[in-house]
Amino acid sequence: MQKSKFSSRSRSGSLPRLFQHGDRPWRGVIILISGLVIILMLSIGGMLWVKSGGARSAFGWSFLAPTANPNWDPVNNNFQAWPFLFGTLLTSLFAILFALPIGLGIAIFLAELCPAWLRTPLTWLVELLAAIPSVVYGLWGIFIFLPQVVAPIGAFLGDTLGKVPLLGSLFTGPIPASGASRLAASLVLTIMIIPTIAAVSRDVFLAIPGSQREAAKALGATEWETIWQVLIPYGRSGILGAVILGLGRALGETMAVTMVIGNSIQGGVSLLQPGYTMASIIANEFAEAVSGLHTDSLIEIGLVLFIITLLLNIVARFLVWQVARQTPQEVRV
């Protein structure tokens, strides 16, 4: 009786009592703000969808369709985004191809082999690569990296792989003397996404229980065999998650790529030719877009970029989460 009286009193309390502790308003405020963060995320997609309406109704799916003779003609208001899609996919895929072995090697070194005193400083140094602003990469790329590294590598690739049938079409040269090309963009992206891949896969390795290593070594496996045949298969989906996160970063990277890719819509399929990416066409043309349809088309490219990175993020988070879940908490090292 006493109890029910108490609870009914507190429930039907007057307004001052309701706010006596201030807990309800507090909870209300943090719930409201959390809701706003979610709405912000949704409204990015929604806003781009609405604002790209003009381009979507004018061009439909042919805007994104592959085509041999793409149109990007602000004067006649005719836009097709294929060269940018292709440029983004090509440069990002090659960046992943280069960055995966390096990032994985770093992760293995940091998580499994590195002496304890070296671990923290090395981890920091690798992460500093991600802290350097993108424009600084671009500046260094234009004046140092492209002429000194990319141009010679490109010339070499053009002379060797360029002669191979079929594969050669990816490496038909000659690379421009400045080095500005899709290859340059891929290599700069490689450097920029190594920290992402290394950091995430390092966390994956650290999450693998020690019993796996002990079991493999007890069976006589060498250190490398333990890593290659036990740890990597065990952390496979987490490493895939790392790759996808790296890919997401590569797709959206703007300034450094715009500065080194050469910004050309013609350029065939070769890595050694200048090209364009989705992010770099937006960066280059948005502020000077001449017509409403031009702006709309650029926003639609942004929308596609948003959707791709959204999907990649969902998949990657799911994969990384799965690894963390399958690892029992108490044996985590």
Partner 1 sequence: MSHFAELMDRNRVSRGRQRKVANATMLSLTGLVTALALIPLFWIIGYVLIRGGKNINLDFFIHLPRPLGMTGGGVLSAIEGTLVVTFLAALFAIPPGVLAAFYAARYPNTPLGVVLRFSTDVLSGVPSIVVGLFAYSAIVVPMGHYSGLAGGAALAVIMLPTIIRTTEEMLKLVPATLREASLGLGAPEWKTSLSVLFPAASSGIVTGFLLALARAAGETAPLLMTTLGNERFDIGQIFRAGVQGHKSVFTILWSIVNQPVDSLPLALWKYAQQPYPERVQQAWAVALVLMLFVLIVNISARVWIQNRSRRMKG
Binding flag, residue 109, partner 1 (CB under 8 A): yes
* Residue 312 contacts residue 242 (beta carbons within 8 Å): no
Choice from 7, 8, 10, 34 touching partner 1 (CB under 8 A): 34
Residues 110-169 that bind partner 1 (CB under 8 A): 110, 113, 120, 122, 124-126, 128-129, 131-140, 142-145
Contact between 225 and partner 1 per CB under 8 A? yes
What is the residue type of 241?
A: G
Select 170 or 320, whichever has its Cβ closest to partner 1.
320
Query: Which of 4, 166, 287, 330 is the binder for partner 1 (CB under 8 A)?
Result: 287
Question: Applying CB under 8 A, does 264 fall inside the site for partner 1?
Answer: no
71 is a contact residue toward partner 1 (CB under 8 A): no
Q: How far apart are CA 63 and CA 50, in angstroms?
A: 16
Residues between 191 and 210 with contacts to partner 1, criterion CB under 8 A: 191, 194, 198
Distance CA 299, CA 48 (A): 6
Helix axes 182-207, 236-252, angle to 10 degrees: 150
The reply on whether position 224 binds partner 1 by CB under 8 A is yes
Give the span between the Cα atoms of 140 and 260, in whole angstroms.
Answer: 10
Query: Least distance in Å: CB of 245 to partner 1?
Result: 8
Measured from the CB atom, the residue of 130 and 168 that comes closer to partner 1 is 130
Which tokens sit at 125?
Answer: 């140094």
From the DSSP assignment, how many helices (H) and strands (E) are in the chain? Answer: 16, 2
Residue whose CB is less far from partner 1, 176 or 248: 248
- Is residue 333 near partner 1 by the rule CB under 8 A? no
> Contact 229/221 with Cβ under 8 angstroms?
yes
Q: Which tokens hold the place of 266?
A: 């013609």
